[in-house]
Structure 1
Amino acid sequence: MSETTSTIDTTTDRALKAKHRAMWALGDYPAVAIDVIPELGPTLVAATGVRAGDRVLDVAAGTGNAAVPAALAGAEVVASDLTPELFVAGRQFAARNGVEITWEEGDAEALPYDDDSFDVVLSCVGVMFAPHHQIAADELLRVCRPGGRIGLLSWTPTGFVGELFRTMKPYAPPPPPGAQPAPLWGDEDHVRALLGDRVTDVVAKRQTMTSDLFASPEAWKDYWKTVYGPTIAVYRFVGDDPQEVAALDADLTALATRYDRGTGSTTVMDWEYLLFTARKQG
């Protein structure tokens, strides 16, 4: 069982999870995963040492950014996500790579698996969006066998995506009581505190991926506001106020401009993430 006793109201939590599921079904997250951040999953799988014969769980798997490379490494993989609408693209992604994955709907804060079920538990910019961090961390550990590995890749609070969420916050509805900011999972001290002395062999590295797909900061903003669920949700929240929409447009464009280090016809941005691996105490 989890190390934390939940005092969260069940009805309120169910409504929150329904909103999260709907948010990630907006736009075209498969395009983000496959076209914008494809390197992240393989990076996480390699760092966690996934190998043939491992039983692997990819938590908040989305379209299989980590699940597919884990399967390519020879592992038996279960991909779990709160938003099963993403599994259509995930199955296509797996088929293109010639691997089979078990896709199962599941809440990262209440994983539908027995204790000690997996050799490796992964999450690639996924579990970080579960609203109650300690509960999610306890679940990751619960389903990992003693001596098994945990691998997490999360956007940092001070990097581009952390800044993105900070930029959108004034335009977004207030978070529900008890919900924690997703980019905290990109803070090493925060993750260490969540896992505590239940893990050993911790390795935490800040790394960056480079985005160079967009011709200009404006082009990135126009793309992101149509494909990325959290951004779409914020635009919908202010959609009846043209001035707020224009201000959000300007703020997002300014953010991308600030990070742009391109010198030609392409916007080049470095997006920082925390790569965190550990072993569950045996």
Structure 2
Amino acid sequence: MSDTADVPPEVLTAVGAKHRALWALGDYPAVATEVIPELGPALVEAAGVEPGDRVLDVGAGSGNAAIPAALAGARVVASDLTPELFDAGRIAAAASGADLTWAEGDAHALPYDDGAFDIVLSCVGVMFAPFHQRAADELVRVTRPGGTIGLASWTPSGFIGQMFAAMRPYAPAPPPGAQPPPLWGDEEHVRALFGDQVTDVHAEVRGLPVTRFATGREFREFFKAVYGPTIAVYRNVEGDTARTTELDGALLDLAARFQRVDGAMDWEYLLFTARRA
């Protein structure tokens, strides 16, 4: 465990409250179901989830990975800092016949015993915990020795990583010591976070085909309406017409860079799996 994992409890509490409110904005389950539904099943397959496995999904949201893991026969806990997302998850789980447990939990301080799970997953979830070393150490701690950690994280150079780069000049200042979410999509960074706490590392950059948006404007308006971080950035410049117009343009430019002739986009992510040493 690295010394950089030491974050004062009062800072964790304040950041946790802020992030819970952030992800309760809009309608994140719409992103999970309409835009990136294939991401969770891909992670579950890569992590080798099997019947009877004890699985924890960290930053589970509405269950993009947790529900497929449960359908694979695992005993699943879907954990998230923002329990407001669980209502949509419970509806989706019931519709698919999945049986799992939904539990509030902060990735910086998971409320579980050491080695409590055979497999610990996070599908573009833990990457948004701003204190990376602290979160990585928690993922390792709750995984049993020899158990699997599986992560899917947006890369810095891919669409979502570049979206955060485009929004950064208009966003509120991050807390001291926070690291950018897309760093979790950089293999070297993730390997350094886990260090010798894991073995059998496999890291692969993949593209997720996204066909939800016919135009860049459609993408922008959808994310302005449903995606918490985008909503928060627009609120930060609310009342400043010039900066709002600049932000509008930056997101259209982003979409134009990534949209293919057929209208689809490839959203790049890092698929990372390892075993706890």
TM-score, length of structure 2 as denominator length: 0.98
Distance 2:94 2:4 in 1: 40
Q: CA deviation at 1:4?
A: 4.6
Letter aligned with residue 275 of structure 1: L
Q: Secondary structure at the match of 2:60?
A: coil
1:142-168 CA distances to partner (integer Å, 9 max, x unpaired)?
Answer: 000001000000000011100000000
Q: CA RMSD in A?
A: 1.1
Q: Where does residue 231 of structure 2 map in the other structure?
A: 232
Q: Where does residue 272 of structure 2 map in the other structure?
A: 276
1:210 and 2:209 equivalent? yes
Q: Where does residue 36 of structure 1 map in the other structure?
A: 35
Q: CA deviation at 1:197?
A: 1.0
> Is the CA contact (8 Å cut-off) linking 2:4 and 2:133 kept in structure 1?
no
> Is the CA contact (8 Å cut-off) linking 1:262 and 1:269 kept in structure 2?
no
Distance 2:129 2:11 in 1: 14
TM-aligned CA distance change 1:5 to 1:156, over 3 Å: closer
Distance 2:67 2:99 in 1: 8
Identity score, percent: 64
Q: CA deviation at 1:14?
A: 1.5
TM-aligned CA distance change 1:164 to 1:5, over 3 Å: closer
Q: CA deviation at 1:10?
A: 2.6
Q: Where does residue 132 of structure 2 map in the other structure?
A: 133
> Is the CA contact (8 Å cut-off) linking 1:4 and 1:138 kept in structure 2?
no
Q: Where does residue 67 of structure 1 map in the other structure?
A: 66
TM-aligned CA distance change 1:192 to 1:5, over 3 Å: closer
TM-aligned CA distance change 1:248 to 1:154, over 3 Å: same
> Is the CA contact (8 Å cut-off) linking 2:170 and 2:247 kept in structure 1?
yes
Q: CA deviation at 1:3?
A: 5.5
Distance 1:213 1:221 in 2: 12
Q: Where does residue 151 of structure 1 map in the other structure?
A: 150
Q: CA deviation at 1:81?
A: 0.4
Give the gaps of 5 or more residues in structure 2.
none
Q: CA deviation at 1:6?
A: 4.7
TM-aligned CA distance change 1:53 to 1:3, over 3 Å: farther
TM-aligned CA distance change 1:244 to 1:118, over 3 Å: same
Q: CA deviation at 1:243?
A: 1.1
Distance 2:81 2:54 in 1: 20
Q: Where does residue 141 of structure 2 map in the other structure?
A: 142
> Is the CA contact (8 Å cut-off) linking 2:6 and 2:134 kept in structure 1?
no
1:10 and 2:28 equivalent? no
Q: CA deviation at 1:129?
A: 0.3
Q: Where does residue 122 of structure 2 map in the other structure?
A: 123
List aligned pairs for 1:107-122, cutoff 5 A: 107-122=106-121
Letter aligned with residue 118 of structure 1: F
1:56-77 CA distances to partner (integer Å, 9 max, x unpaired)?
Answer: 0000100000000000100000
> Is the CA contact (8 Å cut-off) linking 2:5 and 2:133 kept in structure 1?
no
Q: CA deviation at 1:13?
A: 2.6
> Is the CA contact (8 Å cut-off) linking 2:86 and 2:102 kept in structure 1?
yes
> Is the CA contact (8 Å cut-off) linking 1:4 and 1:135 kept in structure 2?
no
TM-aligned CA distance change 1:259 to 1:5, over 3 Å: closer
Aligned residues between the structures: 277
Q: Where does residue 253 of structure 2 map in the other structure?
A: 254
> Is the CA contact (8 Å cut-off) linking 1:51 and 1:74 kept in structure 2?
yes
Q: Where does residue 90 of structure 1 map in the other structure?
A: 89
1:150-187 CA distances to partner (integer Å, 9 max, x unpaired)?
Answer: 00000000111000000000001111110000000000
Distance 1:272 1:7 in 2: 31
Distance 1:86 1:211 in 2: 22
Q: Where does residue 220 of structure 2 map in the other structure?
A: 221
Distance 1:279 1:9 in 2: 29
Q: CA deviation at 1:127?
A: 0.2
1:22 and 2:21 equivalent? yes
Distance 2:195 2:58 in 1: 20
TM-score, length of structure 1 as denominator length: 0.96
